[in-house]
Amino acid sequence: MFEPVSIGLTIAKFAVAPVLRKMWDKKIKKDDRQEEGIIVVELARPIKQAVIDEFGEEKVVATISYERPITKDELHKLATDIYKAIMATARFYKRVGVVTSGPNALWVLVGQFIGMHHVEITWYWWQPEEGYIPVEDASKYRHLLF
């Protein structure tokens, strides 16, 4: 006599396998991703056009915009939205660029959310004489910590 558990698992295996195969086929292979996608985060100050002028419209893949300063109650929600945008962009781009006009505390939270995910992120900041320049990767200075 058949056991209901094994029959259920067999049916599930044949029902789910084709769906998983389709999802796998749609998955972007790491080598097929484009070079860099840029996320613009503008808080109380519009910067999207300046970013487009600097990098080109085709590189800007997402914009998160608040037309006013954010409150402390909105900080975690905004950090979550930025995290989701970074992780979604990382599926299609080798490197994620983030250009922002926002409070430093926000970036601490985003960094905590990202944690140990292996996403190559470049943060950009504005310098009047140079435009948007990348912030150097802190891992280059790890030797200073020990």
Query: 30-144 maps to which CATH number?
Result: 3.40.50
* Successive 10-residue mean pLDDT values, the chain, 146 residues: 46 51 59 88 90 94 88 84 89 90 73 71 81 76 67
pLDDT number for residue 101: 85
Q: Give the H or E element holding residue 131.
A: strand 131-134
Query: Nearest Cα to 114, choosing from 141, 96, 132, 136?
Result: 96
- Helices and strands of the chain, counted as H and E runs: 4, 5
Give the gyration radius of the chain's Cα atoms. Answer: 21
pLDDT number for residue 47: 92
Sheet of 120-127, strand order = 60-66, 34-43, 93-101, 120-127, 131-134
CB 141 within 8 A of CB 111: no
pLDDT number for residue 109: 72
Per-domain boundaries in the chain: 30-144
pTM, 2 dp:
0.67
